[in-house]
Structure 1
Amino acid sequence: MTTKSAQTTLLDRTFRVSLVLKGLDGVLELIGGVLLLLVTPKQIGDLVRFLTQHELAQDPHDFVANSLVHMSSNLSVSASVFGAIYLLLHGLVKIVLVWAVLKDKLWAYPWMIAFLLVFILYQGYRIAVAFSWGLVLLTAFDIFIVWITAREYRLHKARSQESSATAQPAD
């Protein structure tokens, strides 16, 4: 096996693993969206306070625990519904596109790239407004997925064109 072939195989595996991770992220978003519809903001606040009380008793200045308590205490019903709809739609689209790309549906590649580019732009805006390392890492992962999806799309198009050229009789 040549080095180029080994690199291609590794990138192919990386592409598949990355897509599966993106699909699992979509499933988690669906679950989160459903939970946001079923649980009230007050219940979320109570749960966060319960989960962070031990940490805050040990360290009243814990940044993460205090941030979670602050965010959950400011959660409104409209923000909760918006979050639920956002997560449900985002998760559903992500799952459908990941499934279609894993099934080698050529139409899904450009849609996956476009979908992720829109969210990369939105995430970039969110990072500029309220910096978050988690969002930076998610955005970096999305950029990687766009790059590797575009690479796979080019390879699939080239293979399709080659197979259709060999299937047609020569003049």
Structure 2
Amino acid sequence: MSDRPVAGRTVDRLFRIALVIKGIDGALELIGAVLVLAVSGDLVGRVVSEILARDLIGPPDGTLARHLVAGTAEFASGNRTFAVVYLGLHGVLKLALVVALLKKWERVYPLAVVVLGVFVGYEIYRAFHTGSILLPFLAALDVAIIVLVVREYLVLRRERLAEA
């Protein structure tokens, strides 16, 4: 059993859970990058039309529908480079950071904070410019993970100093 107090063990579990979620998110982003490359704009347009026709996300003139149509128009135009690069790079970086943090590679923690901080800044920037409703949520999740990474880093350093 760990000599950390119960609250510390709870935060440790939250940290691991957040990392697993981030790893799944990174893997899904990599899959998304591949799908963006593989799927035609026409197919996406037909799927979105079907979703809107069946009111699966609310009224066809509602906020979610407008965001979906705007995103589809960009995708169908063939301008996918940004999406592929963003999703691919973001996914690879997240997976690499998750592995390094789970292995407790102390040197990676400051880098993880910087990389996640850049992601947060970019997610907020894109949210303002695109009106995305998902990006602020993802930015908030990244901020929470940054807090957990900093906390875990400080605990690891304290433990390493105590062992020395």
Unaligned runs of 5+ in 1: 166-171
Provide TM-score, normalisation by structure 2: 0.87
Structure 2 gap segments, 5+ residues each:
none
Q: 14-23 vs 61-70, which deviates more?
A: 61-70
Deviation of residue 71 (structure 1)?
A: 2.5
Moved over 3 A (4+): 130-133
Tell me the secondary structure at the aligned position of residue 80 of structure 2: helix
Distance 2:51 2:127 in 1: 27
Alpha-carbon offset, residue 100 of structure 1: 1.0
Counterpart Cα distance in 1 of 2:24 and 2:149? 17
Q: 2: distance between equivalents of 1:59 and 1:19? A: 36
Structure with the higher fraction of residues in helix conformation: 1
Give 1:161's aligned residue. 161
Q: In 2, distance between residues paired with 1:11 and 1:149?
A: 11
When residues 60 and 138 of structure 1 are mapped into structure 2, their CA distance, relative to the original with a 3 A threshold, is closer
Q: Identity percentage over the alignment?
A: 36
Q: Deviations over 1:128-171 (max 9, x none)?
A: 334444222211111110011001001111211222x2xxxxxx
Counterpart contact for 1:123–1:139, Cα < 8 Å? yes
8 Å CA contact retained: 1:127, 1:136: yes
RMSD of aligned Cα (Å): 1.9
Aligned residues: 159
| Deviation at residue 84 of structure 1 after TM alignment | 1.1
Residues 26, 94 of structure 2: 8 Å contact kept: yes
Alignment of 1:115-154 (within 5 A): 115-154=115-154
Distance in 2 (alpha carbons) for counterparts of 1:140 and 1:146? 10
- From the CA coordinates, give the structure whose radius of gyration is larger: 1
Q: Measure how far apart 1:42 and its partner are.
A: 2.3
Structure 1 residues 133, 88: closer, same or farther in 2, change over 3 A? same
Aligned mates of 1:47, 1:89 — CA distance in 2 = 26
Q: Give the whole-Å Cα distance in 2 for the aligned partners of 1:37 and 1:44.
A: 12
State how far apart, in whole Å, the 2-side matches of 1:38 and 1:74 are: 16
Q: Distance in 1 between matches of 2:148 and 2:80?
A: 34
